[in-house]
């Protein structure tokens, strides 16, 4: 389920407004006013499943509603064509133009690198705990950004970024959210994750030494267009921790889209080829 559709029938009532909240913003749908104009009027509103919603108290009359759970009928990988109907054309064009200009800026990642965009919406994780299905169920602005990257011949991927400044000495990317088959021994935790679990170390705030730590471990920085924020798309992951005795540890991560941007000469060549075919 990716969202809900609520129909409000034309029974006269007062109150019962639907309040929606998402990332600190609030909207109100006053169903009483929506159906007040005519007896044949039906009010309706649709919203994504990660939007907090609350029905205020009905102070008079009766409020009758019918709610539909909304599901995708096709979970094939997201494509430019499949997103056409759901993306706002003007917003898409504006974002794509701005991103294209950024890619052609000679001062922006001349040797290439990773670009990160935090996800706006939350998504369910399937039984495998990997993130491969997420592109097929992207919503709203997340779907628009994915389409823009696809149109610009970029290949975005979905990751979870773990580690919060002030709480950890590192940040890293993972392509799944299941528990890790590794142990925590001082600073060796991130070392084992990168060696055994495929983690990508993207930031090291302070060098922490531990058993088996490799001082030459490379950090692959990410240039954030939209930086991850705590609680936006937070996931909790457990792992086995070993100290004097075994215990269960946990860490938190945020969903994000990562784009591996090629070097400037490659981007310029692509842009020149695209302009010659227009």
Tell me, yes or no, whether 168 lies in a domain. yes
Give the residue from 70, 100, 125 where a domain finishes. 70
Residues 25 and 88 occupy one common structural domain:
no
Tell me, yes or no, whether 119 lies in a domain. yes
CB-count exposure of residue 257 (10 Å: 0-12, 13-18, 19+): buried
Residues 192 and 226 occupy one common structural domain:
yes
Whole-structure pTM value: 0.69
Whole-number Å distance between alpha carbons of 252 and 236: 5
Whole-number Å distance between alpha carbons of 49 and 2: 5
Give the residue from 11, 44, 70 where a domain finishes. 70
**111: number of Cβ within 10 Å:** 9
Residues 15 and 90 occupy one common structural domain:
no
Residues 163 and 95 occupy one common structural domain:
yes
- Give the chain's residues under pLDDT 70: 74-87, 126-128, 164-169, 178-192, 195-196, 205-217, 230-251, 278
Residues 182 and 260 occupy one common structural domain:
yes
Cα Rg, the chain, nearest whole Å: 23
Residues 118 and 46 occupy one common structural domain:
no
DSSP code, position 108: S
At 45 the three-state DSSP class reads strand
Read off the pLDDT of residues 61-96 as tens digits, 9 standing for 90 and up: 999 999 999 887 765 545 444 444 444 788 888 889
Residues 116 and 16 occupy one common structural domain:
no
pLDDT value, residue 261: 95
Residues 95 and 144 occupy one common structural domain:
yes
Contacts of 11 (CB under 8 A, 6+ apart): 35, 61, 62, 63, 64
Q: Which domain holds residue 102?
A: 80-277
Total domains in the chain come to: 2
Give the residue from 35, 70, 105 where a domain finishes. 70
Residues 243 and 115 occupy one common structural domain:
yes
Q: Token pair for residue 23? A: 């990332």
pLDDT value, residue 157: 94
Whole-number Å distance between alpha carbons of 251 and 239: 8
Buried residues in 33-72 as b, exposed as e (16+ CB within 10 A): ebbeeeeeeebebebbbbbebeeeeeeeeebebeeeeeee
Tell me, yes or no, whether 75 lies in a domain. no
DSSP code, position 126: -
Residues 221 and 241 occupy one common structural domain:
yes
Residues 65 and 29 occupy one common structural domain:
yes
Residues 240 and 120 occupy one common structural domain:
yes
């Amino acid at each position: 389920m990716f969202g809900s559709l609520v129909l409000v029938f034309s029974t006269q009532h007062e109150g019962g407004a639907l309040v929606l909240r998402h990332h600190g913003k609030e909207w109100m749908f006053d169903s009483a006013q929506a159906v007040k104009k005519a007896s044949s009027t039906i009010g309706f509103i649709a919203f994504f499943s990660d939007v907090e919603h609350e029905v205020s108290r009905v102070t008079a009359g009766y409020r009758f509603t019918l709610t539909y759970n909304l599901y995708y009928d096709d979970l094939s990988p997201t494509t430019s064509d499949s997103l056409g109907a759901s993306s706002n054309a003007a917003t898409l064009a504006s974002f794509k133009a701005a991103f294209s200009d950024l890619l052609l800026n000679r001062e922006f990642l001349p040797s290439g690198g990773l670009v990160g965009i935090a996800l706006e919406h939350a998504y369910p994780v399937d039984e495998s705990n990997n993130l491969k299905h997420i592109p097929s169920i992207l919503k709203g602005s997340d779907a628009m950004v994915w389409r823009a990257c696809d149109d610009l011949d970029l290949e975005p991927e979905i990751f979870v970024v773990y580690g919060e400044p002030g709480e950890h000495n590192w940040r890293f990317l993972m392509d799944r959210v299941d528990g890790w088959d590794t142990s925590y021994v001082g600073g060796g935790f991130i070392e084992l994750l990168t060696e055994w679990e495929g983690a990508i170390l993207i930031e090291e705030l302070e060098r922490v030494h531990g058993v088996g730590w490799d001082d030459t471990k490379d950090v692959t920085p990410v240039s954030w267009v939209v930086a991850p924020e705590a609680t936006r798309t937070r996931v909790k992951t457990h792992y086995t921790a070993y100290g004097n005795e075994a215990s269960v540890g946990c860490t938190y991560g945020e969903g994000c889209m990562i784009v591996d941007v090629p070097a400037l000469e490659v981007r310029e060549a692509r842009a020149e080829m695209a302009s010659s075919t227009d």
